[in-house]
Structure 1
Amino acid sequence: MSGPIQTILRRVRRGSRDVIENAVSQLFDAAVQPHGVADSGEYRIDELARLAGTTTRNIRVYRDRGLLHPPLRVGRIALFNDTHLTRLRLITSLLDRGYNIAHVKEMLSAWEQGKDLGDLLGLESAIAGSWATEKPQRMALSAARRLIDDPAGFDRLVSLDIIRLDDGEQATIMRPTLVDAFIEIRQYGVALDKLIDLHEQVAPLLDQISAILVQAGVEEVVDKINPGAAMPGDVEVAQLITTLVRFRTQAVTAVGATLASSIEAQVESVVTQMLGDLIEKQAAAGE
């Protein structure tokens, strides 16, 4: 990764870490207030569902599972307040990140008991879930060498930290999806050296794209949560955190779609050129 890109990423992390951690902490604080705290809004269940972007059925499930505090009862009418709305937005945000209902309940309960956010989720997880789509795979060093089946290529992958050598006779495949792709493409006769060369050419370009996207996502929040100024309202904070939570998925989808479209166009262009050249050669041979 180039120096300027590293500088950008460090600045993004350093400039946003405390601000966003504080925002997430305050959001959790607002979401776990005990019932009875004065709130400005009162909502029936259908209105609460509309404001939170969910369904009345989901709200009832969350209530039954203990994720939402009981509503205020006025006769036969159940009234919810802004604490319910904030908590409901947070629940939806966590579920969107892949946590299940049991995990969400555990996190909210832990926060109510005073546990630290960093201990509970980890800062990166609290901000935007797990950004790493791959889980490293640990195996015996001998098995890793057999998997790659190319001593020189194996050493190059180690130097790129795609494979990490652990103490003793163990190795960790840090990028298993990438390694699997290399192995599959090699079946078509492409040398591992060439695949690693391509990776080294493409990786810095992807780092630049990632830096631009991450910075854009962080700026969206930092611009609205000004350090030193009063925090926005609970609902707005919930919306900002949800923006960050969903940013990763949408960014990956957008980049993936753009890359797929670009590759498709390039393949079509190359194939057309190859066929055109072949037709010209055949025509010239027949003259």
Structure 2
Amino acid sequence: MKSRTQRATNDSDSVAESDPATNKDISPGLTLDELAAETGVPQRTIRFYQAERLIPKPGRDRVDARIARYDTDHIDRLRLVADLQDRGLKIPAIRELLASPEAPNKVNEWLGLDSSLRGSWAKVEPQLVSREELESLTHGLPRGTRGRLEAGGLMRSQGDSWLILNRPLFELSTRLVRDGVDIDLVLASGVILAENLGRAADRLIDLFVGAVAEGFGEGTEVDSLVETLRPIAGDAAALIFGAELNRAVGALLADTKRLAKLRTRPKS
């Protein structure tokens, strides 16, 4: 185990990067080693966060000014940054959020919006399954299907286990393969749907934000507005997509050249 003197030497570079005029003079406190151990955030990452102005500068030890000292504010900030990153916020957005004079209120407001908006849509959590469970889920599938499912992003290896990113979608894909649909056709169909529905989702969000900015729902909580518009993501999307499929099938039936490609061919 390292002594406090050894840890002080390791931490000296952190203090060298800080501004003595703005540093707090605190002692005792946590060294960089101890802060990393307390929060689970690597020292290198903590230094990076300091450089990006995501956490306050460290204080100085009263006896040896070369030693950086961190307190509960640093612990709380590191955990907050980790939480914001887990929710999908990038470093520049986190820095902007935390740099505001009203940072606590803005962060709480953002976290409230995050919970309201994310909580209103269907969310599927990844599932970790054992090798035996995966064998059961993929039993009877053609050789090579598991590799294609992994290449298609539906699952990935996690040591001795497997992470299924979206189990309902995974089970739908394997059911289609069992029904005779080629796995590459299944995966290509998923890509088409994801690309086009992704663009539609982005445009709907822009439409919603623009409408709110122009006064739509004034005086109403955001989560209530989202619940009001939620059918667009489910019922309306399914109805519109079904209608578009009918239109596309009608166009196919009217195109004799394309239709000829669907003629039943004799089995060899």
Q: Normalising TM by the smaller chain, what interval?
A: 0.3 to 0.5
Question: TM-score, length-normalised on structure 1?
Answer: 0.44
- Whose helix proportion is higher, 1 or 2? 1
Q: Which has the higher contact order (CA 8 A, sep 6+)?
A: 1
From the CA coordinates, give the structure whose radius of gyration is larger: 2
Question: TM-score, length-normalised on structure 2?
Answer: 0.46
